[in-house]
Amino acid sequence: MKNTIIIKPNTPAKEIVAKVRSSEGVFITSTGMRDAGQSDFKNRHRIHDLLLLAPFYNNMGLFSSECHGGARWHVGVMNRKEDPFEEIEMLRELMPNVLLQTLIRETNLFGYRPYPKNVIEYVVSKVDIDVWRCFSFLNDVRNMRTVAEAVMKRGRLFEPAISFTQADWTTNSYYLGLVNEMVSLSGGTDEIILCIKDMAGVGSPARIHSLVDAIKQKYPDLLLQYHRHSTDGLAMPALLAAAKAGAKILDAQEDTFTRFYGQPPILGLIAYLEESGISVNIDRDYVDASVQKVREWISQYEWAESPFKGYDYNVTKHRMPGGAFPSSFEQAEQGGFLHLMPAILTVMSLYNRIVKYFDVTPGSQITWVTCSGIVNRYDKERGNAGVRYIISLLTKFVEEKNQCMDKMEKNEQEDLLMVFRNAPGDFKNLIMGGYGKLPMGWPDDWVYESTFGDEWKDKIKERKNSSPLESVAQDDLAKLRAEFADAIGRLPTDDEFILYLMHPKDAVEFILFREKYGEAPLHLPTNVWRQGLQNPGDRVEFDLWGKPYCIELVSKGAEHEGLIHVVMKVNNKTRVYTVETPRAKKIEIRMAKSASDIGAPINGSVWRIGNPERGALKAGDIVHKGEEIANLEAMKMENAIAAPFDGHIVEVCVRLNDTVQEGQLLFVIEKV
């Protein structure tokens, strides 16, 4: 047993920094619980499986476990039906010795739009995370201010990250400028860690050595973490170069998670560093146990792996980040344009020299949607020839003519001035300054003409130079909360409300799912979660709230008129479930929705339409406020329905003696 340093949660930020600084060798952040899954498995790794690693992590001597944030939050709510708050709670219980780390997108938090200050403060104050790695896809450090303040005020560790790419304009002095801003934002170097976030995996060993060295020379006390994806195939030497130049924390994942786009394998990395004379603060036995544990269940996730296999050195040109690989390919597959991927990646590599920013959320999505849109348009209009044409046009413009419009032919100029015409709203928002300032300034004027057409000059005048923190209006939290309560039919908890703030539509669906299916996402093993029970006699056993449960399949019926009957034993009691298939006939009941719709207040039968004085009512009749217009009977009690206002009846939606359900539409009345 090795004597590893364990850094526990609730250690003050300053002490964490001091401890790492004064220790020999390097520390490891494990991305096994977040980025590994995001980069190669579409973030589908379920907490049910990840929890199996927690007891090993607890003793491993990790600097931290990156288990939160990025797209894991959204995919959790949308696809895995897991709540990021409940994940934290479960992890805290099983690995109380490990710092939990998140990845947060400055003003965009865990969502996709710039949030106002009051939302940022509210969210950061409620999420129980120890290490807050915060990046900006524009490297606009101004945008990090509110997150930094809120995190440091809580006494948690703030980790500003430089979004790194390798390009002619990303020089050491450019990055040192950012480091200066970050250090001054954080009040010095004693309470932060600074991260170089190489999200695409493009930093060559020499380049990384040079950058780390330059920062260490300027700020010898500053703790540096190097986060790198493997896409170009050069991760290991690049990490060693960073460590040799003075980086203290490196990111790695279980070897058994390793495919192509995530972090490098941890056991290999440890061996490589140690052989090179750099000690690693880690207990290899626990690492090994964790690596083996992953092997037991990782084959359950083959379906989630990217269809685009193998390292891709061209990433140094197209710069698609590791975290975006599987989701982009998934979209291409679903959209039926997987065959266009090589062309799209080529267009991306040219595009990112025209509009300069960093390909990481939400920038990577803007790049992806814009470039895949351009290629798809040419493919639809002119087929393969069109795709070849747009690539050659952009190549000529960028590589041969140095982006000089005057040097292009007339018809080529016309085409370039149309290339962004169908660009998505987020692209427009980006070049108008909606997300903050672009790292190399505004794109050339022709981009505006191409995007906005005739209005382009006005648009250029409207560009904003401020940070969204200054321009985005505060959200009315009470009002949003009420809207949300309306959608789910009850008051939400604070945690649920934050889910709603990040992804409104998906949060509502998530909550309704969980109300219907309870904790199914937390307790079912992954094969049952995906496939259910296959054969009679198949069973699933789990503990729920401290008690044992068993569900066993007895039989599955054949589909009949859109229904399948499933017989199961739940703790030995036989139950029959009627499951509707997509072919099930839906009897549509119209419900009262708008103010002019009069709905049934209870379940019952309509025994009178109208009232005794004037008899039955029909469409076209005038009714007066308070006048009885129908009467429902249920269990021998009468319920008079009164007209809520003066009006005329547009439609009588039920017939005498109909059985109606609560909320069912009875009348449409137009106010007069």
Contacting residues toward another protein, per CB under 8 A: 44, 78-79, 303, 516-520, 523-524, 528-534, 540, 542, 544-547, 549, 551, 553, 556, 564, 566, 568, 570-571, 573, 575, 577, 579, 581, 601-605, 612, 626, 628, 634-638, 640, 642, 659, 662
Given a contact cutoff of 8 angstroms between Cβ atoms, the answer to whether 248 and 278 are in contact is: no
Separation between Cα atoms, residue 498 and residue 74, nearest integer Å? 12
Q: Closer to another protein at the Cβ: 345 or 551? A: 551
Report the nearest approach of another protein to the CB of residue 545 (Å): 4
Cα dihedral 561, 563, 567, 571, rounded to 10, equals -160
Q: Which residues contact 642 (CB under 8 A, 6 or more apart)?
A: 625, 626, 627, 628, 629
Report the nearest approach of another protein to the CB of residue 534 (Å): 7
Report the nearest approach of another protein to the CB of residue 632 (Å): 10
Report the nearest approach of another protein to the CB of residue 332 (Å): 17
In the sheet with 637-642, reading across from the earlier edge strand, the strands are 637-642, 628-634, 604-609, 659-660
Given a contact cutoff of 8 angstroms between Cβ atoms, the answer to whether 98 and 57 are in contact is: yes
How many Cβ atoms are within 10 Å of 385's Cβ, its own excluded? Answer: 10
**Closest of 396, 420, 323, 417 to residue 362, by C-alpha:** 323
Report the nearest approach of another protein to the CB of residue 340 (Å): 23
Q: Closer to another protein at the Cβ: 404 or 584? A: 584
Q: Closer to another protein at the Cβ: 275 or 545? A: 545
Q: Closer to another protein at the Cβ: 385 or 570? A: 570
Separation between Cα atoms, residue 361 and residue 577, nearest integer Å? 43
CA–CA distance from 149 to each of 128, 153, 229, 230 (Å)? Answer: 16, 6, 29, 33
Residue appearing with tokens 């119209």: 590
Q: Report residue 382 as tokens.
A: 């002119």
Q: Closer to another protein at the Cβ: 412 or 633? A: 633
Q: Which residues contact 122 (CB under 8 A, 6 or more apart)?
A: 477, 498, 501
Report the nearest approach of another protein to the CB of residue 659 (Å): 7
DSSP helix/strand/coil, 61: coil
Report the nearest approach of another protein to the CB of residue 547 (Å): 5
Given a contact cutoff of 8 angstroms between Cβ atoms, the answer to whether 17 and 27 are in contact is: no
Q: Closer to another protein at the Cβ: 221 or 559? A: 559
Given a contact cutoff of 8 angstroms between Cβ atoms, the answer to whether 161 and 134 are in contact is: yes
Q: Closer to another protein at the Cβ: 460 or 528? A: 528
Residue appearing with tokens 């949003």: 480
Q: Closer to another protein at the Cβ: 293 or 530? A: 530
> Burial code of 131-147, b = ≥16 C-beta within 10 A, e = fewer?
bbbbbbbbbbbbbbbbb
Q: Closer to another protein at the Cβ: 417 or 566? A: 566
Report the nearest approach of another protein to the CB of residue 649 (Å): 19
Report the nearest approach of another protein to the CB of residue 630 (Å): 13
Q: Closer to another protein at the Cβ: 479 or 547? A: 547
Report the nearest approach of another protein to the CB of residue 43 (Å): 12
Given a contact cutoff of 8 angstroms between Cβ atoms, the answer to whether 358 and 338 are in contact is: no
Query: Residue 365: which H helix or E strand, with range?
Result: helix 363-395
Report the nearest approach of another protein to the CB of residue 551 (Å): 5
